Amino acid sequence: MDIFERLKQAAAADWAAYVEHDFVRQMGDGSLPQAAFRRYLVQDYLFLIQFARAYALATYKSRTLADMRAAKAGLSAILDLEMDLHVRLCGRWGLSPQDLEAAPEHQATIAYTRYVLDCGQSGDLLDLHVALSPCVIGYAEIGARLASDLGAALESHPYRDWIAEYAGEAYQQLASDARRHLDGLAARAMAEARFGDLAGLFGKASRLEADFWQMGLEGAQV
């Protein structure tokens, strides 16, 4: 069992609240209101800007070239892959990249991203990657599950582009590499007595992910 699986099991309730959230369920069955998805996308764009900073911090915190390259891969995935998806999807509503960058950050966006950055600033590289892992690895799990459940129906699904992006080979490989890197970091830097603190950190990040989905759902009510 790798460190990521151990963290998921230790924070099982928080993890389930995140990956089984109503936002995810509604996105999967196609019933998610467009207003909720749009609010989520705009905030997720702002979220990714802060996560790019977190990966830049990971480069600074790295002590080996391998760790630096792992951080570079995460930064590239955000700047060259995920943000392009958001720009493309938001462009359908007439929103430019400048519009997205000018949007005010929601409290849920601030809470989650600054928590991750604080973990990185006050802790070490392992703390930072544990805080990042629910997002980078969790999205791969969610995307793969939704794509598998939908099968051929994905082709005509209203949220096809989002699901296909995170279920796609490029993102799945990124998440697999991130998971393997996290396990390697734990092998090098984690005494067993530290696991409880890391599990608490992971659980908090997962709860903040659930709050982020909830923020999106509430966008359908305003």
First-to-last C-alpha distance (Å) of the chain: 44
Residues 82, 135, 141, 165: which is the catalytic one?
135
Q: Does residue 154 contact residue 163 with C-beta atoms inside 8 Å?
A: yes
CA-CA distance, 175 to 168, in Å (whole number)? 11
Distance CA 129, CA 116 (A): 9
Angstrom CA distances, 33 to 1, 37, 200, 217, stand at 38, 7, 33, 8
Cα atoms in the 13 Å half-sphere on the side-chain side of 169: 0
Reply yes or no on whether 135 is catalytic: yes
* 209 belongs to the catalytic site: yes
Q: At what angle do helices 125-150 and 12-19 cross, to 10 degrees?
A: 50
Annotated catalytic residue within 82, 141, 165, 209: 209
Which secondary structure element, helix H or strand E, spans residue 193, and what is its range? none
* Residues noted as catalytic: 135, 209
